[in-house]
Amino acid sequence: MKAQVHVMLKNGVLDPQGEAVRHALGAMGFDGVSGVRQGKVLELDLADGTTEDTVREMCEKLLANTVIESYRVDLL
């Protein structure tokens, strides 16, 4: 069984990497980009029977900094 965890900075949290990407895209001639938010996707290979609650516990304890990041779990 697999799970994907999508982690993004919460709205209102400064995203310097996203801003650097936005600036670079503008410098390359892609003028229509007004904002970029950068996140991460973690793909987990899990034992059969692992619950979504267990994956959420992993996120709360390690995979996401819940003070500044939000996350979404997709079981595949």
- The candidate with the shortest Cα–Cα distance to 4, out of 39, 36, 30, 38, is 39
CATH of domain 2-75: 3.30.1280.10
In the chain, where the domains are located = 2-75
pLDDT means per 10 residues, the chain with 76 residues, are 97 96 96 95 97 98 98 97
* Contact assessment for residue 56 and residue 70, using Cβ atoms and an 8 Å cutoff: no
Within the chain, what is the greatest distance between any pair of CA atoms? 49
Q: What is the value of pTM for the model shown?
A: 0.87
- pLDDT reported for residue 71: 98
